[in-house]
C-alpha cells in the first residue's frame, strides 16, 4: 500500500505566448481548471500506475475542495483520511508557454495546516510513505519519524526544497528523488558540490536510493554501490507541469511492488515522458499499460 502525505490544490492554468518576467503582464486567451497539488498528483499517478493508494491531507471549506478531489475519487484513491478544514483550499496559478515550459505560484491554504499525527494507524511495515515539499517541513519530519516507527519505506521528493536543515531526517529516507535545480539547492544547504553525480555519490548508500531527474536527458541514480542512467523517451512536449509527479508516482508504485531498481527507473521515465504529451498535472498522468509499453522500449 502507498500512503501519500502531501498537498491538495486546484490548478488554474493559462496558456501564454511567453512566461512573464519580473513586473511584466502576459495575456492568454483563456484559462482551464485542473485538480493538482504535488501530494494529490503523486497519489493519482501512483494509482494509475497500478498501486493501491491512500491520501492523507486537507482541503478547505470552499467550492474548490470537492473539485480538487474529483480526479482521485474517480480513480479509486482512498480519500477517507483527507480532512476538510475551515478556510481556503490550496490553489496554484500556472502559466504555460508555447514550448510547454511553466511558471507556478502556489497559495497553500489548508495545506499549511496538515498534521503528521493524521498518519497514525495508516502505516505498516509493508507500506510506502510518499512525501513532497508543499506542506510544512516540520510536519514532513514528523511524518518521516512516524513511518520509521511503523517500519514503512519512506519515498521523499523535496519539491520545493525546505529552507532549513534537511540532513537529520535523511537517515530514515529510503528513496530520495530530486531534479537538477533541487540538487543545486540541497547541495548548497549540505555544503557539497552541486553536480548530479557528486550528489548521488554523496547521499546514496546501501539503504538509500538517490534519483536525479534530468528532464529530456533522462535519469541518474545510485543505490547500494550501483549506478544507473536511464534515457528519457523522445516525445512531443505539450505541458511539462505534471512530469515530475508522474515520474515519482510511477517509480514509487514500481518500487512498492518489489520491481528491481533499473526497471522501476524505466517505468518512472516512461511515465514522466508520457505526462508531457497532455495538459494538466493530473489529467496527463498515464496508465499502467501505457507506462509499461513505453518502458519496454527504453534500452
Give the residue-averaged pLDDT of 162-185. 92
Confidence of residue 87 (pLDDT cuts 50, 70, 90): very high
Residue 180, classified by CB atoms within 10 Å of its CB into exposed (0-12), middle (13-18) or buried (19+), is: middle
Which residue, among 73, 75, 107, 102, has the nearest Cα to 89 in the 3D structure?
Answer: 107
Average pLDDT of 153-176?
92
Cβ neighbours around 175 below 10 Å, total: 23
Q: How confident is the model at residue 236 (pLDDT cuts 50, 70, 90)?
A: confident
Question: What gap in Å lies between CA 235 and CA 243, rounded to an integer?
Answer: 12
Give yes or no for residue 30 having a pLDDT over 80.
Answer: yes
> Each residue of 124-154: pLDDT tens digit?
999 999 999 999 999 999 999 999 999 999 9
Confidence band (pLDDT; 50, 70, 90) for 262?
very high
Cell of 293: 509499453
**DSSP-derived secondary structure letter, 160:** S
Instruction: Identify the three-state secondary structure at position 223.
Output: strand
Whether 297 has a pLDDT exceeding 90, the answer reads yes
**SS3 state at 23:** coil
The answer to whether the CB of 36 falls within 8 A of the CB of 7 is: no
87: alpha, beta or left? (left if phi > 0; alpha if psi -120 to 50): left
Alpha-helical (H) ranges within the chain are 38-48, 64-75, 137-150, 167-170, 180-190, 196-203, 243-256, 261-275, 288-295
Catalytic residue among 165, 245, 290, 296: 245
Look up 245 and say whether it is catalytic: yes
Burial of 112 (0-12, 13-18, 19+ CB in 10 A): middle
Return the pLDDT at 178. Answer: 98
Amino acid at each position: 500500500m502507498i500512503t501519500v502525505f502531501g498537498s491538495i490544490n486546484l490548478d488554474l492554468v493559462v496558456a501564454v505566448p511567453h512566461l512573464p518576467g519580473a513586473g511584466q503582464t502576459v495575456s492568454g486567451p483563456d484559462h482551464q481548471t485542473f485538480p493538482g497539488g504535488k501530494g494529490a498528483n503523486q497519489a493519482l499517478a501512483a494509482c494509475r500506475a497500478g498501486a493501491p493508494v491512500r491520501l492523507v491531507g486537507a482541503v478547505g471549506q470552499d467550492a474548490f475542495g470537492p473539485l480538487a478531489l474529483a480526479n482521485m475519487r474517480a480513480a479509486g484513491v482512498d480519500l477517507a483520511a483527507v480532512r476538510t478544514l475551515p478556510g481556503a483550499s490550496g490553489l496554484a496559478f500556472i502559466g504555460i508557454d508555447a514550448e510547454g515550459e511553466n511558471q507556478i505560484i502556489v497559495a497553500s491554504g489548508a495545506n499549511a495546516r496538515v498534521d503528521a499525527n493524521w498518519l497514525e494507524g495508516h502505516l505498516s511495515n509493508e507500506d510506502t510513505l510518499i512525501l513532497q515539499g508543499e506542506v510544512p517541513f516540520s510536519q514532513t519530519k514528523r511524518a518521516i519519524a512516524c513511518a520509521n516507527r511503523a517500519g514503512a519505506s519512506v519515498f521523499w521528493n523535496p519539491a520545493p526544497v525546505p529552507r532549513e536543515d534537511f540532513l537529520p531526517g535523511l537517515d530514515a529516507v529510503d528513496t530520495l528523488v530530486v531534479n537538477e535545480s533541487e540538487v543545486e539547492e540541497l547541495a548548497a544547504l549540505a555544503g557539497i558540490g552541486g553536480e548530479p553525480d557528486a550528489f548521488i555519490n554523496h547521499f546514496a548508500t546501501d539503504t538509500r536510493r538517490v534519483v536525479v531527474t534530468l528532464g529530456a536527458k533522462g535519469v541518474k541514480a545510485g543505490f547500494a554501490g550501483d549506478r544507473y542512467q536511464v534515457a528519457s523517451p523522445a516525445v512531443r512536449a505539450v505541458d511539462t507541469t505534471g512530469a515530475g509527479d508522474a515520474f515519482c508516482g510511477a517509480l514509487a508504485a514500481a518500487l512498492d511492488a518489489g520491481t528491481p531498481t533499473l526497471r522501476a527507473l524505466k517505468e518512472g521515465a516512461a511515465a514522466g515522458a508520457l505526462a508531457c504529451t497532455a495538459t494538466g498535472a493530473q489529467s496527463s498522468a498515464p496508465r499502467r499499460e501505457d507506462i509499461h509499453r513505453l518502458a519496454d522500449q527504453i534500452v
